[in-house]
Copies of this chain bind each other. A is one copy, B any other.
């Protein structure tokens, strides 16, 4: 069961809750709802830290961190409070039947939990799925605020082409440039699109399928009817790279501490962080 915690309680999204570091008039901006799926691993706290510092520059933003876990990780909650971006910390474990699969649909349970929260709490603004290991140029957040239905743009560091993007000629989409098409209607990366909250609410059944490789496509299809001509093209008509699919090297779990040798040192407290 998903658990909700937060620094903000409200029925209206983010009104009067602009942190002091932003000018007062930023509260007029359409709010951004950033859904970040995450899961326990050695790199988790580091990834959340640097993503959080990017988001901390963006006014009128609300961060939905959703863990693939039965219960919230305490060190994650502590870190979110310290980073001080307005947030909720939710959980959404992957159902057991998908855990058995060889190629798991990672992050789907988390993102659908985020969508559920938005349906229950938001009325305007824009939602965006921001994985914790990607890199985001601040410009993309300002550009996505004014999306009418769905907005799309290029994502760097994807596949052999080095980028995944809508193909744009004369201001309209004529296809998609992506190293893997796989029969998808929308061959696009998770970091390459955002959706208006009002538009999501007008599609009560829209959600992400538990189908590895087809998460983005399935979600976007579930928003149909959606005319390609209605898609807003950001990043200067898709000629700039403002989001990057950076991936971190995975580290093995740390070896346990030799307590006989180090039992009276700082290492006891230090290595507890790594568990």
Given A174-B265, A270-B238, A253-B162 contact (CB < 8 Å): yes
A211, chain B: closest CB distance, angstroms: 24
Nearest opposing residue in chain B for A274, CB measure: B162
Number of interface residues of A (CB under 8 A): 55
Given A240-B270, A274-B156, A163-B246 contact (CB < 8 Å): no
Interchain CB contact (< 8 A) of A169 among B237, B254, B264 = B264
Q: Do A274 and B50 touch (CB < 8 A)?
A: no
Total copies of this chain within the assembly: 2
* Chain B residues, Cβ within 8 Å of A247: 248-249
Q: Do A249 and B252 touch (CB < 8 A)?
A: no
A270, chain B: closest CB distance, angstroms: 5
Q: Does A202 contact B (CB under 8 A)?
A: no
Interchain CB contact (< 8 A) of A165 among B46, B53, B246, B270 = B270
Q: Chain A 238-275, CB within 8 Å of chain B: the 1/0 string?
A: 11110010111101111100000010111101110110
Residue ranges of A at the interface with B (Cβ–Cβ < 8 Å): 21, 42-43, 45-47, 49-50, 53-54, 56-57, 135-138, 154, 156-157, 160-163, 165-169, 174, 177, 237-241, 244, 246-249, 251-255, 262, 264-267, 269-271, 273-274
Q: Do B163 and A271 touch (CB < 8 A)?
A: yes
**Distance in angstroms between the alpha carbons of A163 and B252 in the assembled complex:** 12
